[in-house]
Amino acid sequence: MPKMPVAVLGATGTVGQKFISLLEGHPTFEVRELVASERSAGRTYGEACHWKQESPIPAALAAAVVKPTDAPLASPVLFSGLDSSVAGPLEAEYAARGHTVISNSKNHRMDATVPLVIPEINHDHLALVEQQHCAGAIVTNSNCSTMFLAMVLAPLHRAFGVELVQVTTMQAVSGAGYPGVPSLDVLGNVIPFIGGEEEKMESETQKILGTLEGDHVEPAAIRISAQCNRVAVLDGHTEAVSIKLTRRAAAEQVAEVLRNFRGLPQEAGLPSAPERPIVVLDRPDRPQPARDLWLEKGMAAVVGRIRECPVLDIKMVVMGHNTVRGTAGAAILNAETMLHKGLIAP
């Protein structure tokens, strides 16, 4: 069967590059069109892009000519790695033209009719696309730090109820894009501020864990306090999380619920789905980005140090690959889920 043609918006940026890297050899999707800003448009992708991925730039795409953002596109599905400074109106315009935009950008995440989706948790929220009243649709994935927090909270909320969450993040420099944080600012240092990050973690998690009520999502009644820090780690966001549960549970019970968590992507065997969306490690000094980042090909939330909390109920350490499951990989899994549910045509 022929593969579905897709386009990558913001193709020269770090998220766009990750889309291209992860989509190479995909069984269903094939990148046919590359879109970027005026300074890149008209040049070959190899000329326009400062490739920063672990694998080589795909040869076929290196010779492809980059299209401007106002060019008509033939691909029905567009993966958006656009910068937030331009993503809002551009994504809305593409959707109005009939494209399905699977976005990593923050601009539309909290729009009432735009699904903010982690397929293992809330694929039912994809029904919101019917409320958008345009020829196409916009679907978003969460902020990279929100991703791993929500993945862990969802099964615990279902099993025990979650009331309060305190999370402190240690976020990798790759989360700031390229060239990102100046080395003289971050080396040997911790920067205790990432603009807008704490607010995104608090509000996005509530929407993801919320309940679909017809034409909107009713946010989960969970109070979340986030403190976000940038640290001198290349890839991998680490989060220290404390949780107050509605029904008390021992650490062993919490670990068992997390180990057993599965969702639609695993049941359907979707191409990008990790076999274990949550990996629980028993060693007291794990997870570590340097050692555990690529478990489940970077598509899992990795959890360790699950123990009782003397202030709330349970505390743990959560880690995940911020540029794979936290960005492009999440969007690709969203597209696979939409295809599985018949929301985009093959």
What is the DSSP track for 196-222? THHHHHHHHHHHHTSEEETTEEE----
- Reply yes or no on whether 309 is catalytic: no
Set 108, 123, 125, 237: catalytic member: 237
The mean predicted confidence, pLDDT, of the chain is: 97
Q: What average pLDDT score do residues 114-126 get?
A: 98
- 36-43 CB contacts, 8 Å cutoff, 24+ apart: 36/9, 36/10, 36/11, 36/12, 36/66, 36/67, 36/68, 36/69, 37/12, 37/68, 37/69, 37/86, 38/68, 40/11, 40/12, 40/66, 41/66, 41/67, 41/68, 41/69, 41/71, 42/66, 42/68
Residues of the chain above pLDDT 90, percent:
98
The predicted-structure confidence for 291-308, as pLDDT tens digits, reads as follows 999 999 999 999 999 999
Looking at residue 81, its pLDDT comes to: 97
Set 99, 144, 321, 340: catalytic member: 144
Looking at residue 187, its pLDDT comes to: 96
What are the structural domains of the chain? Answer: 4-142+328-340 (3.40.50.720), 144-321 (3.30.360.10)
Confidence band for 345, pLDDT divided at 50, 70 and 90: confident
What are the C-alpha distances in Å from 295 to residues 7, 56, 65, 236? 28, 22, 35, 12
Confidence band for 318, pLDDT divided at 50, 70 and 90: very high
Question: How would DSSP label each residue in 257-307?
Answer: HHHH---HHHHHT-TT--S-SEEE--STT---HHHHTTGGGGTSEEEEEEE
Whole-prediction pTM value? 0.97
Looking at residue 291, its pLDDT comes to: 98
* Cβ 94 vs Cβ 88: under 8 Å: no
Looking at residue 1, its pLDDT comes to: 75
- Reply yes or no on whether 228 is catalytic: no
